[in-house]
Amino acid sequence: VTLIDGRAIAKSIQEAVGADVAALRAAGTTPTLAIVVPTDDEATAWYVRSIARTAAKAGIDVRQIDLHEASAEELTAQLDALSADPAMHGIICQTPLPKGVTLEQVGQHIAVGKDIDGANPESLGRLASGLPAFAPATAQAVVEILRREEVPLVGAHVVVVGRSNVVGKPAALLLLAEHATVTICHSRTRDLAERTREGDVVVAAVGRARLLGAAYVKPGAVVIDVGTNPTEDGQLVGDVDTAAVEPVARAITPVPGGVGPVTTALLLRNTVAAATPQS
């Protein structure tokens, strides 16, 4: 089995981003990413610090806006202001959101051209229609990893487990655009293991620690594990039981060190794309 090195893929993306940033800066534009943080959640703070550190290395400015305990109105007003601010190129809004507020609601206040993590429902609609738009970076990371590992997608059967607007659904749309035959599974799917065992590629985006064991994977399949589930002893594990699947799969992404770092690198690549004048 090949353990796919997400950190190495991320590094190579970051190097390319760094070169693009240097060119933009030389032409007088400082690519700037706004991160709205509506929570004091510790895991979110850790993730934001990691994005900010990686952005700084690539020469991208980060403006962090802490809005702990903000109302929905304050949050959407802030996103409207950032959307109108020509100095801001990319905008992301972290979760968890205030009680009763959905990502789809706040996402509508992120201008589509700055929506580098595909939170605006309009971005997802454009993606579904084949129009230019940013897909959520995690969904992009799934396809980026498969491309870099030279996994054939044209005509291949890819089984995606999960249908959220942030991962499963956009990942399925991107894979469809690569001409894969895509099956989408979810919590009501009957005989999940039978479905996933049909996949040349299995994408797990469920949020259930080690749900997919050896019986869920066809021998020689490629497994992309999007899940990040904290365990009681403070570890992070995926949706795939890696130790059980390793003898069966051809290649698998580890957690941590797989999809996560590639996602962060793609947020930065998207920021640079948003800052680049369209000719």
Binding site residues, ligand NAP, CB under 6 A: 138, 161-164, 166-168, 185-189, 192, 205-208, 211, 226-229, 259-260, 263
- Min dist CB 169 to ligand NAP, Å, is 8
What's the closest the beta carbon of residue 162 comes to ligand NAP, in angstroms? 4
Which of 12, 50 has the CB closer to ligand NAP?
50
The nearest distance, CB 44 to ligand NAP, in angstroms, is: 12
User: Which ranges constitute the DSSP H helices of 149-254?
Assistant: 168-177, 192-196, 242-245
183 vs 229, beta carbon nearer ligand NAP: 229
Q: φ, ψ for residue 219 (rounded to 5)?
A: -55, 130
Residue in 210, 249, 212, 254 with CA at minimum distance from that of residue 229? 210
Cβ-in-10-Å burial (0-12, 13-18, 19+) of 5 comes to: middle
Q: Which two tokens stand for residue 200?
A: 């040349």
Q: Is the dihedral of CA 250, 5, 139, 164 positive or negative?
A: positive
Nearest by Cα to 65 from 32, 28, 114, 29: 32
Residue nearest to ligand NAP as judged by C-beta position: 164
* Contact by Cβ (8 Å): 226, 203: yes
Question: Nearest distance from residue 43's CB to ligand NAP, in Å?
Answer: 9
Nearer to ligand NAP, 12 or 71 (CB): 12
Nearer to ligand NAP, 147 or 179 (CB): 147
Q: How far is the CB of 84 from ligand NAP (least distance, A)?
A: 28
Indicate the residue among 42 and 73 with the shorter CB distance to ligand NAP: 42
- By C-beta, is 120 or 228 nearer to ligand NAP? 228
Residue 212's closest CA among 142, 258, 259, 160? 160
Structure tokens at 216: 């869920």
Closer to ligand NAP by CB, 44 or 229: give it.
229
Contact (CB, 8 A) for 59 and 22: yes
Report, in Å, the least distance between residue 79 CB and ligand NAP. Answer: 20
**Helices 137-148/168-177 angle, 10° precision:** 40
Shortest spacing between CB 224 and ligand NAP, in angstroms: 10
Least Å distance between CB 209 and ligand NAP? Answer: 8
Closer by beta carbon to ligand NAP, 137 or else 251: 137
Q: Nearest to residue 55, comparing CAs of 259, 262, 269?
A: 269
- Token pair, residue 214, equals 């050896």
